[in-house]
Amino acid sequence: MIAIIATVLAALAALLHVYIFVMESVQWTRPRVWRRFGVREQAQADVIRPMAYNQGFYNLFLAIGAILGIVLFWAGGPDAPAEIAGRALTLFSLGSMAAAALVLLTTGAGYLRAALIQGTLPLIGFVLFLFA
């Protein structure tokens, strides 16, 4: 049962990070998107665009790692090499997501909400995957 809950949380964290990728790397030119990231004017958004594009791909790669980890985790039986590799990859991806949220929080108290949104699912999923 813990493995199922951990998997659901890991998958939700991955989907959230895919959504962040879409905002940062695909939809950044839309004012409603860059305003969501605290950017106030078009000129700022244009300057930040390459960094947002790059950062979006970081989020995508973390999501891909989590999804591949989940697939491998469930592909093998208990203690099978695929299950062990899947657990390790999922833990690495979720841990990286949670650590990135912590780094975001260190940039200022104004980022608390964003850090909680970005880091809560991966942190809980990480803890549960340790016991799955």
Query: pLDDT value at position 62?
Result: 97
Where residue 132 falls among pLDDT bands split at 50, 70, 90?
A: confident
SS3 102: helix
- Reported as type and span, the H/E element at residue 121 is helix 112-131
pLDDT digits (tens, 9 = 90+) for 21-56: 999 999 999 999 999 999 999 999 999 999 999 999
What are 28's two structure tokens?
Answer: 């950044």
pLDDT in tens, 96-117: 999 999 999 999 998 999 999 9
The label of the residue with tokens 């104004």 reads 110
Q: Give pTM, 2 decimals.
A: 0.93
3-state secondary structure 6-28: HHHHHHHHHHHHHHHHHHHHHCC
